[in-house]
Structure 1
């Protein structure tokens, strides 16, 4: 089963973004995912990993929930 981790910057207020991604992934893939976990971070981080592979990093990509879901789909 696939595990997804969403790491987000707490001081930046990215919790709502992290929750949006978590909700979209659970709604889209449901029982095909073992877990979608939220991990706190800082320094502006917003990163999504699937089984340790980074599929989204705010420092490199524009934030788009639908695109993140498409990237995760390749692993599910």
Structure 2
């Protein structure tokens, strides 16, 4: 079982992205997860971590829900 953290920038309005990612991951991998946590942040951050390891970082990658899901699958 794994923990997923989605850290998102509150001032940037990334809450909708964060909830979309969490809903997709819970519906896809729910049985394999201990938790999906939304973590508030600032300064443009949008990262997805599986057991503390960054699998998606907005600074390096274009936001793509399907790609994030694939990366989480690979990390699980």
TM-score between both structures, scaled by the size of structure 2:
0.97
Q: How many residues matched?
A: 76
| Runs (4+) off by over 3 Å | none
What is the CA–CA distance in structure 1 between the aligned matches of 2:35 and 2:74, rounded to whole Å? 16
Gaps of 5+ in 2: none
Gaps of 5+ in 1: none
What is the CA–CA distance in structure 1 between the aligned matches of 2:2 and 2:74, rounded to whole Å? 11
The answer to whether 1:45 aligns with 2:62 is: no
TM-score between both structures, scaled by the size of structure 1:
0.97
Q: CA deviation at 1:31?
A: 1.4
Equivalent pair of 1:2/1:75 in contact (CA under 8 Å): no
What is the CA–CA distance in structure 2 between the aligned matches of 1:33 and 1:47, rounded to whole Å? 18
- The Cα offsets for residues 19-61 of structure 1, whole Å up to 9 and x where unpaired, read as 0000000010111111110000000000001001100000000
